[in-house]
A and B are shown apart, each in its own frame.
Chain A
Amino acid sequence: MNSKELINYMKSTFGEPMVEVVDLKKYFPVKGVFRTIGYVRAVDGVSFIVPKGKTLGLVGESGCGKTTTGRLILRLIEPTSGHVYFDGKDIFKLKGKKLLEFRRKAQMVFQDPYMSLDPRMTVFDIIMEPIRAHKIKVEDPQKFVVNLLYEVGLNETHLYRYPHEFSGGQRQRIAVARVLALEPEFIVLDEPTSALDVSVQAQILNMLKDLQAKRGLTYLFISHDLGVVRYMSDYIAVMYLGKIVEMGPAEEVFEKPLHPYTKMLFASMPVPDPFEAKKKPKVEVIGEPPSPINPPPGCRFHPRCQYAMDICRKKEPPLVMAEKGHFVACWLYAKK
């Protein structure tokens, strides 16, 4: 199945796309003393769609390329090759006014709210900054900001305070309010709760879900926490070393994972229940993820895979539809 067919299959099963990613690649050069000595293949040919009004969860371990994918989709970095279509338009070809409009519609919430807010700006200035940058006219800025603060569970007493006066959870709320100021349609949430405590994490997740329902937002939710991804996502895509190895409706992937890596990942996740933990099947975790500079030939997972066959060492498995709407890149499911 080539990437175009794949995208068409996804469209027919997942729904109309907000974002369409085709064969996206990003190689970072590794510089030696005199010349480039290699490339980190952070994202190496991924194709997927984010359906309108839904949440796609992107999971994987550190270094698998999930954050790079998120940044590419927002054109925060330029790709090595490939296309991203936002509402049908290729974002890497946008210029001038059109690009500015895309920048308004597609936003990002970052992982660490201690780094993403300027310590010298008040909450009011932080939230007004994108409005000023986009030269949008607002009748009553103060009222506008207060309304946004209410929407994220803060209030007018917070208006002229500085970030250091807030806890991690409240800072993340401010970061979300800043994003909402531009009335975006699509938000990339890059590990929005991994710097927060569990009791606060639940508050933020629930708020994000409410906002999605109210404003009809489309999310790309990037996380390594499988419990959180399951709670947030309609569809999930599992990445390993720059490739998507499995993708499908969240419940189906969690209930019936197909790829050996997904199985290993799920089995590694500790279950918060001592009775279940005892019953849980034990899956041997072999080795560590290899370096993305010199990924193994064939299937990138084969050195750690207990089902590795001959073909896995030689040829890369394509992403194929194993069941309706459930895609997997593994020779166990693909025709050789």
Chain B
Amino acid sequence: MRCKDPIIVVKDLYVNFYTYAGVVKAINGVSFEICRGETYCLVGETGCGKSVTSRALTRLIKSPGRIEKGEIYFYPEPGKKIDIMKLSDEEIRKIRGYDIAYIFQDPSASLDPLYTIGYHVAETMAFHGVVQSIKEGIKKAAQVLRLAKMPDPESRVRAFPHELSGGMKQRAVIGMSLANRPKLLIADEPTTALDVTIQAQIMNFLKELKEKENLTLLLITHNMGLVAEMCDTVAVMYAGEIVEEAPVEELFKNPLHPYTRGLMRAVPKHVGKNVTLESIPGTVPNLIFPPPGCRFHPRCPYRFDPCDKKRPPLIEIEKNHKVACWLYAKEGGKR
């Protein structure tokens, strides 16, 4: 156990999507835990399963997707354990948006164009009984939007989504998710659709907020820069599996998995034209027919005998630094 006081524990999660083309094995045995009060990052490329993992935490997986197996435990308070997989739909809805809130990538898709920003905020509060009526909620909405650093919140309460810029829409969505003072905030690529200057504003604000509200943040991103600036602990995902997990400084100082190393070298960082960037050959595999053994082996420069036959286990190499690679594991599982 990495955490003394975890807020969420996931064990051996499998998610499949049943499409016409075949069964997409999107999440293939993912286990991790998030400590209360930390910022945990899931990082990886398109289709690696980072969003699906975060959605599975509140069973927000729609057909044709299905959680095949796995255990998910949520601890709203230390010592109080909720088995997410055993809850009824009714019960999980009470947690979603109350204890665990989401921010998604595209703020326009999260807002209904026919309702005002104030109504959106009021609705989330009224649904969970924080306020008695929508009317009361709208009155309180300005206060919530101010928490999300919305400029001129009083007048924005009456504004419709199309009247706001992308950055302000995302602030409105953050306001909605913060309305009920959640314990865990899941931000799924919250700034990917925004410009860098606006991204910096929102990230600074999330950092401040985390300290002020004692929030736990699960940040999902593909941007190594954001990982470095925001996170405490990082899990690198590849093709539906966690390949490496470590505290952020340890991961950047001493990346172990060949994929993590490749990923870090592939990001241009203060390099001019005279340098040649290293790239990872090949592309992300098709998860209907994932490669056998280690899913990274077709692209790996260090592959050897067991890689294409047996899946490497995620084992702890150094304190809190876990990696799933045969370079570091003996076939028995121990080094």
Contact = CB atoms under 8 A, between A and B. Distances in A.
Interface in B178-212: 195-201, 203-204
A224 interface: yes
Contact of A198 (B196, B226, B229, B263): B263
A274 B252 contact: yes
Interface in B227-279: 227-229, 248-249, 252-253, 262-273, 275-279
Nearest to B253: A275
A264 B197 CA distance: 7
Contacts of A19: none
Size class of the A contact interface (CB-based, 8 Å): 35 or more
A233 B277 CA distance: 14
Nearest to A273: B228
Given A170-B283, A270-B228, A288-B167, A197 B222 contact: yes
A194 B314 CA distance: 32
A201 interface: yes
A269 interface: yes
Given A205-B277, A272-B228, A275-B252, A288 B272 contact: no
A274 B249 contact: yes
Nearest to B203: A270
Contacts of A288: 165, 167-168, 197-198
B280 interface: yes
Contacts of B227: 272
Interface residues of B, number: 47
A265 B197 contact: yes
B273 A233 contact: yes
Nearest to B225: A270
Interface in A206-256: 206, 209, 224, 226-228, 230-234, 250-251, 254
Nearest to B227: A272
A285 interface: yes
Contact of B268 (A197, A230, A274, A285): A230
Interface string A263-286: 011011111111111000000010
Contact of A227 (B165, B201, B264, B267): B267
Contact of B228 (A61, A198, A274): A274
B272 A200 contact: no
Nearest to B273: A234
Contacts of A206: 276-277, 279
A80 interface: no
A74 B313 CA distance: 54
Contacts of B279: 199-203, 206
Contacts of A67: none
A62 to B, nearest CB: 6
A167 interface: yes
A273 B224 CA distance: 8
Given A230-B270, A271-B225, A285 B201 contact: yes
Nearest to A59: B196
A224 B196 contact: yes
A199 B228 contact: no
A199 B280 contact: yes
B46 interface: yes
Nearest to B48: A197
Interface in B72-87: none
Nearest to B226: A270
A202 B280 contact: yes
A192 interface: no
Contact of B45 (A197, A203, A251, A264): A197
A101 B195 CA distance: 37
A201 B227 CA distance: 19
A199 B225 contact: no
A200 B200 CA distance: 25
A69 interface: no
B273 A272 contact: no
Nearest to B47: A197
Interface in B8-22: none
Closest 4 CB pairs of A and B: A270-B225, A202-B279, A268-B200, A272-B224
Given A200-B280, A265-B196, 14 more contacts: A198-B45, A198-B222, A202-B268, A202-B277, A203-B280, A250-B272, A270-B225, A272-B267, A273-B228, A273-B269, A275-B249, A285-B198, A285-B201, A288-B165
26 contacts: A55-B273, A61-B195, A167-B284, A169-B283, A197-B45, A198-B266, A199-B266, A199-B284, A202-B268, A206-B276, A228-B268, A230-B271, A231-B275, A234-B273, A251-B272, A254-B272, A265-B197, A270-B199, A270-B225, A270-B228, A271-B225, A271-B229, A272-B252, A277-B228, A288-B165, A288-B167
